[in-house]
Chain A
Amino acid sequence: MPLTLSVSGVHKHYGGNHVLRGVTFEFGEAGTYVFMGPNGSGKSTLLRVAALLERQDEGSVGYHSGAETLKADIALIRRITLVLPKVGVFNSSAFENVAYGLRIRGVGRKEIKEKAEKALDSLGLLHKRNQRAALLSSGEQQRLGLARALAIEPEVLFLDEPTASVDEKNTRIIEDLLVSIRKEANRVVVIATHDKEQAAKQADRLLYLKDGRIVVP
């Protein structure tokens, strides 16, 4: 049974800046959900709040397994992840970057190696496993960020501008992977993008965000 998510009446302020103004949606089944909207419309903020990395000022964010609503504790947080637009690679090897999420979960050494290598492979980075992450190209770093997220096998995956500032070749690799994840149809994937083509290609459901509200385009 996939982990699902519902957001209701969420407001978020940064100082006097009212960024999210009552956002409500429900992603009740596996699939890829894409948020579009102009810069500054609040997409990134919404993803951070929905991924439980930031607290909303008002409203609720709930995760469900079937009919059951789960407590927002570290156990739940560890079942979801968000890939940031600026990846923030750690100053270590590509392998170590991907292994990080597994290490902090106390996964055994053999399993780490297996899963990390699989994640690296799925993004065409296996041959770079021993390279220092900081020395990878920005496209490769973006892929590494995705591999790092996939390694922990998140049940809900948030992607904030996964292909912004990435060249065509890297964009294709990332998009192909997202398509194959979508085909598996076993989890909720949430993407924020302002790339219309990408949105059209990936989305099971497309949502528009404008001035902190979900609107009909």
Chain B
Amino acid sequence: MVFDKELFSIVTLSLEVSLLAIALATLIGVPLGVCLGRCRFPLKSIVVSAANTLMGLPPVVVGLVLYLILSRRGALGFLSLLYTPAAMVLAQWLLALPIVIALSHSAVAAVDPVIAQAARALGASPFQISMAVVREARYALSSAVIAAFGRVTAEVGAVFMVGGNIAGHTRVMTTAIAMEVDKGGFELALSLGLVLITISLAINVALHLFQRKGAQPSG
């Protein structure tokens, strides 16, 4: 096991990038998913199935498209974001967003309609009704966010393409593991792998807890 500065900085950057991406995805995805679950509008079913389809977006494709856009010759090249952590945040955000939207939608849609009726009968405004439903779905919503976090932290392809795996700048756990294995640096790879496994274990325990809490009888 190696627990040196390099390992520490890789782990820190990974967490920072993923948490930032997830926070942004949450900020936008949860309200959107809740809206999808609460509102009725034309083409809603198309939007929902689009989100569900995008959930399975191949990360390398996201990476490739984003690379082409951020590339100096790309549409957003003037921002010079290619090979920066910001680009990785963007990639992970794109991967997380459909997951957060789709899972938030189903979390809210799964809430017994009688909850909204009860809130309404007690004098809640439309917004307060939505909040009551959100509150009812809170464990499932947290699960949605955690699931998305699990996916982005384990992702290699997209962050490699737009981040570049630059030492000290954009090297995160997954890209570092891929590289270390390639050059035979099994020690660092194993240490990083252990950290990654610990994180995903923690994620799964949290998911399990939330799902169990959320599944308790409500009727």
Using a CB–CB cutoff of 8 Å, the interface residues on chain A facing chain B are 51, 53, 74, 77-78, 81-84, 86-92, 100-101, 104-105, 132, 134-135, 145, 148-149, 152
* In the bound complex, CA of A152 to CA of B122 (Å): 8
Q: Please indicate the chain B residues that have their CB under 8 angstroms from the CB of A81 in the complex.
A: 121-123
Out of A83, A91, A132, which one reaches B121, CB within 8 Å? A83
Verify B219–A100 contact, CB threshold 8 A.
no
List which B87-125 residues lie within 8 A (CB) of chain A. Answer: 112, 114-115, 117-125
Contact A90 B123 (CB under 8 A): no
Tell me whether B123 and A91 are in contact (CB under 8 A): no
Q: A90-B136, A135-B216, A135-B217 are in contact. Are A152 and B117 (CB under 8 A)?
A: no
**Interface assignment of B169: CB less than 8 Å from any CB of chain A:** no
Contact A104 B121 (CB under 8 A): no
Given known contacts A84-B117, A88-B115, A88-B118, is B217 in contact with A134 (CB within 8 Å)? yes
Q: Given A100-B119, A100-B122, A134-B217, list of 12 further CB < 8 A pairs? A: A53-B120, A82-B121, A84-B117, A84-B118, A84-B121, A87-B118, A88-B112, A88-B117, A89-B218, A104-B122, A105-B123, A134-B216
- Most chain A CB within a 10 A radius of its CB, from B115, B117, B125, B216: B117
The smallest C-beta distance from A183 to any residue of chain B, in angstroms, reads 25
- Nearest CB on A from B12, distance (A): 36
8 closest Cβ pairs, A-B complex: A88-B114, A88-B118, A78-B123, A101-B122, A82-B121, A134-B218, A104-B128, A134-B217
Give the CA-CA distance A87 to B125 in the complex, in Å: 19
Q: Give, as a whole number of angstroms, the nearest-CB distance from A59 to chain B.
A: 21
Inter-chain CA distance A148–B119, complex, in Å, is 10
Closest approach, in angstroms, between the C-beta of A187 and any C-beta of chain B?
16
Q: 6 pairs across A/B with beta carbons < 8 Å?
A: A77-B123, A81-B123, A82-B121, A100-B119, A104-B128, A135-B216
